[in-house]
Chain A
Amino acid sequence: MSSVLRAIWDNTYGLLVDDGQLAIGAIVALAIMWLIAATTPSEGHDNAGWLLLGLVVALVLANLYRAGRNARRHAG
């Protein structure tokens, strides 16, 4: 039973986190978006969504660039 519970926990954690840096980066991007949405008036407020999109896309590209560099290093 404990192995099933452990597997469920691992799977649930694995659902959300495959690469720690990507997950932390996404949480930071969300925090920046929330901060801007909460502190800026009307127009800037509504641009917070696009800012989040930009941050996340940049994050994905940077993360995959790092993954590619690491893969190249491993391949020798």
Chain B
Amino acid sequence: MDLTTLAIAATPSFIASAVEFVEATTIVLAVGVTRGWRAPLAGAALAVATLGAIVASLGVALVTLVPRHLLLGLVGALLLLFGLRWLRKAVLRFAGIVALHDEDEIYRREVAELRAQGLTRTEWDWVGMVVSYKAVLLEGVEVAFIVIAFGAKGVAAMNAAIVGALAAGVLVIALAAVLRHPLTAVPENWMKFGVGALLSSFGVFWSAEGAGTEWPGDAASIPLILGAFLIASWLAVRMLALIVPRGARLEARNV
């Protein structure tokens, strides 16, 4: 695996997947701490197996069967939609219109809900297993999408994207196992902002390649596209600071 493939597929896959792993780990930790570890770990393992099947079937089929231009166009369009969604939310968060993502708060809320449901020690903890399965599967679907999207350029890119996601998973799980606490020190909001800009940039790059256009310098254009998104985001945060009164925090759905 050469350095360019690593930089293009593995690095963004690592960063984006790390954000999703942190969110899933928070829920699994909350279940494990309140209800014991066997059921949530079984739920998480089952979800990982489900995700493995999704990536193995869908990802490999996409990369090997679909014509390259069509694949790049399709994945580019999906990446653009996915990335713009993250970028929009990140800008709204930094402008103070949407509350910042708080793993500690999510953890406390989840623990309170799980404690309220109670637990019979003699039975298998189906609630804990389902909560853990659902959390890992739902966050994992995003990881699977990220891996497939960044790996869409071919087998080497797919391998690099998988390596990036696996490395993120191992790192986040190891840290959570050692700390036994949500990873609040991870700068999730900044990472989401960066990932949104990165995904949008790859979306634009691959959509255009899928339409048969050639970028000057090929992948060397990506930093320029990324720069355009970062400048636009900075301008948007400044613009929103001027438009919206300080302290006006509203739910994203309302705006």
Contacts and interface: CB of A to CB of B under 8 A. Distances in A.
A49 B208 contact: yes
Given A33-B208, A37-B208, A56-B84, 20 more contacts: A8-B138, A11-B142, A16-B82, A18-B252, A22-B85, A22-B88, A23-B81, A37-B211, A48-B208, A49-B205, A61-B232, A61-B236, A61-B239, A63-B88, A64-B236, A64-B239, A70-B255, A71-B240, A75-B248, A75-B250
Q: Which of B80, B84, B95, B236 has the most CB of A within 10 A?
A: B84
13 contacts: A4-B137, A26-B84, A33-B207, A34-B211, A37-B212, A37-B213, A46-B216, A53-B225, A56-B84, A61-B236, A67-B92, A71-B255, A72-B243
Contact of B85 (A15, A61, A68): A15
Contact of A65 (B77, B205, B243): B243
A15 B243 contact: no
Interface residues of A, number: 42
A71 B84 contact: no
Contacts of A52: 204, 207-208
Interface string A34-60: 100110000001111100110011011
Interface string B93-135: 0010100000000000000000000000000000000100110
- How many chain B residues sit at the interface, stated as a range, is 35 or more
Given A7-B134, A16-B82, A67-B92, A75 B244 contact: yes
B84 to A, nearest CB: 6
Given A49-B208, A56-B200, A71-B248, A65 B239 contact: yes
B92 A56 contact: no
Interface centre among A17, A27, A45, A56 (most CB of B within 10 A): A56
Nearest to B85: A18
Contacts of A17: 81, 85
Nearest to B232: A57
Interface of B: 73, 77-78, 80-82, 84-85, 87-89, 91-92, 95, 97, 130, 133-134, 137-138, 141-142, 145, 200, 204-205, 207-209, 211-216, 221, 225, 228-229, 232-233, 235-236, 239-240, 243-245, 248, 250, 252, 254-255
A30 B77 CA distance: 7
Given A37-B213, A75-B250, A69 B243 contact: yes
A34 B251 CA distance: 35
Contacts of A8: 137-138, 141
A45 to B, nearest CB: 6
B92 A64 contact: yes
A12 B141 contact: yes
8 nearest A-B pairs in the assembled complex, by CB-CB distance: A49-B208, A75-B248, A68-B243, A37-B211, A67-B255, A16-B81, A18-B85, A64-B236
